[in-house]
Every structure is written in C-alpha cells, then in structure tokens.
Amino acid sequence: MADPDRNPWRRFLALPNESRTKTLVMAFLVAAVCALMVSGATVLLRPIQAANRAAEEQARIEALVRGIPGMADLLEQSGGTLSTVVIDLDDGRAAQDVTTDTLDTALADTGNWTALDAGADLADLGQRPDYAQIFLLRQGDAISLVLLPMTGQGYGGRIDAILALEGDMNTIAGIAITSHSETPGLGGRIEDPSWQASFPGTEIRDDSGELRFNVARGDASGPYQVDGITGATRTGRGISNMVRFWLGSDGYGPLIRAIERGEF
C-alpha cells in the first residue's frame, strides 16, 4: 500500500474541483494575490498620480488667471511658473487650516471676518475677510509677480479688481477690473485698457516706506500717481482708497513684508 502524500499543498491540489474547501481556498488566494497587485500598483503609480494632480491644478490656476482681461499678456511678459496660496491676512503667511478648496466654506463663517474701524476702513467695506487667495509668478526661486485680489466702493457701488505687483513689491505691473457698477462713459471707463495702461510702472511707496499711491484728478504728475478720469472724481477716489487699503496694514501689508523678507 502506497504511503499517503505528506505534502499538504499536493494533498490540497489532489482534492476534486467540486470540493467546497478547495473552491474557498482558491478564491481566497486569488483575492489575496489581486489585493497585493493593486497595492503594489498604487505605490508605484502614486508619484505619477501626484504629478498629474499637480499638473491639473497648475492648468486650472493658469486658466483662471488668464481668463481675467489683461492678465494673459502680463503673464506672458513676465514668464515663470504660476501658483496660488490662501493667505491669512492677519500675519501675511500661508493659512494653516484653509485651502483653495475650503476657502468659500471658511468665508461663509462670519467668524472668519474682521470688523473695520471707520477711520481705517478706506475702502468702505465695513468688514474684511481673514483669508484671501493670491497668485504668485516665480522665475526659479524668485517671485516676479504677485496678483492681489481687492474690493472697494466706487461711485456706483462695489468695484472688484486684481492688482499685479512686480517682485520688488513696490512697482505696479498692471490692474484688471473684474466687476463694477460705475456709470458707463464716465466711471465705467475704469475697465478700458487705455485707462489701465497708466498703472504699469507706478510706485506705491516712497523711500521712507510711506504709501503714496493715488489716482490723479487729471493727468498723473508723479511716480505714485495714475491718470484720473474726467467727470469721474468719486470713482477715482474709490480706486485710490481701495488700493491704499489693500496694500496697507489691514490688507496685504503683512504679506508684502513677508515676501520682502524672503519668506515666500
């Protein structure tokens, strides 16, 4: 009489295919092998997936900014890599708990807004969000352009804009008015490229660090002025106050100082 096979694996394989034990064990083994293959593929593909997500985010950011009138040409002239970050306006640093995906939710919470004293509220906002999404253009490690969204009050109502600062944090590279309610043919001319063309090269502060930017009543007469619009004095004043507020200590001032210190 032949000795029984002492190898458990061969004994298992010798079981008839109709055996419930054999069916369950083989199903388990196939599932385990598949799970190992999927886990291995996930580990191997993770860097590729991360790179793809980064590329998609970069494309989304560029599409968003390039869709702003006047910004596409500015980006082409400046060159570099565009990125975005949510800033905590109180300290001028990247927000720890708020991202571009959660920014709208955060700003829906009234606790994430700061009431402004009347004397400091140049832009006539009443309150200011604690967080803002900004855009940075880099050439290598150096920042060549910063795009700063801002809001203020004109003659007809709210004005929304994006101001572009050069890497020195003191020279305006351009402005885009994204929405307004100003009078057509008068204050409404703030959306005209011909008026916006007076912004590039304008300085915002003097050598002592004092904020000097303003919209002139007529033609600009100094390095800190841009041309005014005839018959739209209140609109020009609104633009002046909006820019001065957002570039000051209650707006992007802490961020500007952080960039100047090389923290970005």
pLDDT tier at 54 (50, 70, 90 boundaries)? very low
Note whether 36 and 92 are same-domain residues: no
Q: Is the pLDDT of residue 182 over 60?
A: yes
Q: Is the pLDDT of residue 50 over 70?
A: no
Note whether 159 and 44 are same-domain residues: no
Higher-confidence residue of 201 and 62: namely: 201
Note whether 193 and 148 are same-domain residues: yes
Q: Classify residue 63: in a domain, yes or no.
A: no
Note whether 144 and 201 are same-domain residues: yes
Range of the domain at 31: 11-57
Question: What gap in Å lies between CA 255 and CA 249, rounded to an integer?
Answer: 9
Question: What gap in Å lies between CA 156 and CA 69, rounded to an integer?
Answer: 21
Q: Classify residue 175: in a domain, yes or no.
A: yes
Q: Fill in the DSSP letter of residue 232.
A: -
Mean predicted confidence (pLDDT) in 39-47: 67
Note whether 99 and 35 are same-domain residues: no
pLDDT tens figures, 224-243: 999 998 889 999 999 999 99
Q: Is the pLDDT of residue 44 over 60?
A: yes
Higher-confidence residue of 75 and 177: namely: 177
What total of structural domains would you count in the chain? 2
- The two tokens of residue 249 are 């200590």
Q: Classify residue 6: in a domain, yes or no.
A: no
Q: Is the pLDDT of residue 214 over 90?
A: yes
Q: What is the mean pLDDT of the chain?
A: 84
* Run of H or E including 10: helix 8-13
Note whether 81 and 212 are same-domain residues: yes
Q: Classify residue 1: in a domain, yes or no.
A: no
Q: Classify residue 95: in a domain, yes or no.
A: yes
Note whether 84 and 156 are same-domain residues: yes
pLDDT tier at 138 (50, 70, 90 boundaries)? confident
Note whether 18 and 86 are same-domain residues: no
Note whether 133 and 113 are same-domain residues: yes
Higher-confidence residue of 186 and 140: namely: 186
Note whether 15 and 100 are same-domain residues: no
Q: Classify residue 141: in a domain, yes or no.
A: yes
- The two tokens of residue 66 are 């390039």
What is the C-alpha radius of gyration for the chain, rounded to an integer number of angstroms? Answer: 29
Note whether 159 and 124 are same-domain residues: yes
Question: What gap in Å lies between CA 162 and CA 196, rounded to an integer?
Answer: 12
- pLDDT at residue 193, as a whole number: 87
